[in-house]
Amino acid sequence: MNRKPLFAANWKMHKTPPQAAEYVSLFWGAAEALVPRADIVLCAPFVDLETLRLELAPSSVKIGAQDCYYEKEGAFTGEVSVPMLAALGVAYCIVGHSERRRLFAETDEAVARKTAALLAGQITPIVCVGESLEEKQQDLTVQRVSSQVRAALGDLKAEERGKIVIAYEPIWAIGSGLADDPASANATIAMIRATLEGLQSARILYGGSMNVSNCAAFCAQQEIDGGLVGSASLDARTFVQLIKSTLA
């Protein structure tokens, strides 16, 4: 890793506000000690963000959301805007997660608009890209992933691209227990960096069944700057252990 590593927990649809508060009480002391060497962010459901803001107040651990809408305000029932997230101290926001693309019909165009809105609102987007199993089997990984990267980031300026985070998450690896091979993830991430000007300095994470046993091998790769971690982030002690394993 050449850049400061980043570890983002993706809690998905887990944890009520009291559960989020309990997590923070177990997490922040140990996590705080790691922050000089790694940026750490907890991407939580909207309902937990205020709890995180209050509970993490004395900490350098950052707050993240899992989605947003690109308009600032208006008649968009059920949506949450970037200024609303900013008012809660949100520093990062996941966009284009494969679950949102697949289950909630999020398009490449929406991902691009959300990414631009987040940058304009001073929140760092964590843009997710990745191929399906079928695409992998047909040798379409490069084509699929590079087209997602171009669609999401093509209209940005090179210096804006350098400020975002990309998470390469092969869809078949998410929640399956079958992580990608670290060298193969490294090659795909090197390809992502070469896709557009500015991405050489962006942080690019691996995600998909990252755990305490495999995290260090991923992070030892030249192009991989950390992880977007689902299941293995749900337990506070496990997530701390995972981050520590990469910093030894």
Residues involved in catalysis: 97, 169
Binding site for ligand PGA (CB under 6 A): 10, 169, 174-175, 207-210, 228-232
Is the separation of the CB atoms in 79 and 69 below 8 Å?
Answer: yes
Residue nearest to ligand PGA (CB): 230
CB of 28 to ligand PGA, least distance (A): 21
Q: Which is nearer to ligand PGA, 64 or 121 (CB)?
A: 64
Q: Which is nearer to ligand PGA, 31 or 173 (CB)?
A: 173
Is the separation of the CB atoms in 63 and 90 below 8 Å?
Answer: yes
Q: Which is nearer to ligand PGA, 12 or 244 (CB)?
A: 12
165 is written with which tokens?
Answer: 């985070």
CB of 239 to ligand PGA, least distance (A): 11
Q: Which is nearer to ligand PGA, 125 or 207 (CB)?
A: 207
Q: How far is CA 122 from CA 56, 70, 240, in A?
A: 20, 13, 27
Task: Show contacts of 110-113: CB within 8 Å, 24+ apart.
Answer: 110/70, 111/148, 111/151, 111/152, 112/151, 112/152, 112/153, 112/154, 112/155, 113/70
Residue 84 contacts by C-beta under 8 Å, 6 or more apart in sequence? none
CB of 208 to ligand PGA, least distance (A): 5
CB of 167 to ligand PGA, least distance (A): 7
Is the separation of the CB atoms in 42 and 64 below 8 Å?
Answer: yes
